[in-house]
Each structure stands twice: as C-alpha cells, then as structure tokens.
Amino acid sequence: LPASNSSVISTYIYKKISHSVQNDNAFASVYAGIKLTGGIGSKWQGIYVQEVVPGSPASEEGTIQPNDKIVYICGKCTLGMTLEDAVKVCESAPRTVRFKAMRLD
C-alpha cells in the first residue's frame, strides 16, 4: 500500500514509438513517450519515470509525470524487476501500455 503522503495513479497509453537510450551511465527505455529508468541492479530500487517526452502520447494524456514510481505495467507488479524486465512487459503489450504508478504528494 502507498504511504499516506502518496497517491496511486493509473493510465492507459497508446504504444507508438519505443526506443532505448543510454545517457550518463544510466540506461533508460522510452515507451509511449515515458522514459523509464531504475530497477533491480541500478542505484534506484524500483522502476521510475525519468522523463515524459514532449508531444508524445504520454505527454498528451497527461497523467504520468517525471519521478512517478511505476508499480504495475500491464497488470504485472514491478517489484523485483530489472529495467530489462519492465521493457519486455512493455514490448509484449499489443497496442497500449497500462501503467499504475505512485506519486509523492
């Protein structure tokens, strides 16, 4: 359960362009305009939104924001996932990627 000073948000985002990027020794993947980072084996515990790409489906939808912690992707809990695991779940989504995230209030 989220802490009392956080909220749970959920959204469906149409999956258009997906790609991976490497910056400053941090691997991140972009799905539907959400740049994901973190995961097991990284300095962050959990999968986080590093950036929402301007003009992307995620930006137009407006729910997911930078620093949100992604807790579910397409119904799969991200607890214990590597970033690569999260990428595989995103890639397996046929047309939309469903995210559930926590945001500190």
- In total, how many domains does the chain have? 1
Asked, for residue 39, whether it belongs to a domain, the answer is yes
**Domain of 31, in residue numbers:** 6-104
Asked, for residue 74, whether it belongs to a domain, the answer is yes
Q: What is the pTM of this model?
A: 0.75
* Residue 47, pLDDT score: 93
- 7 vs 17, which has greater pLDDT? 7
Sign of CA dihedral 54, 105, 21, 96: negative
Please report, for the domain that includes residue 70, its CATH number. 2.30.42.10
pLDDT tens for each residue of 63-98: 889 999 999 998 999 999 998 899 888 888 877 778
Mean pLDDT of the chain: 76
Asked, for residue 1, whether it belongs to a domain, the answer is no
Q: How far apart are CA 11 and CA 62, in angstroms?
A: 9
* Residue 76, pLDDT score: 95
Mean of the pLDDT values across residues 28-42? 77
Asked, for residue 86, whether it belongs to a domain, the answer is yes
Asked, for residue 16, whether it belongs to a domain, the answer is yes
Q: How far apart are CA 40 and CA 38, in angstroms?
A: 7
Asked, for residue 46, whether it belongs to a domain, the answer is yes
Asked, for residue 36, whether it belongs to a domain, the answer is yes
Of 76, 79, 63, nearest in space to 1 by CA: 79
Determine how many CB atoms are found less than 10 A away from the CB of residue 66.
11
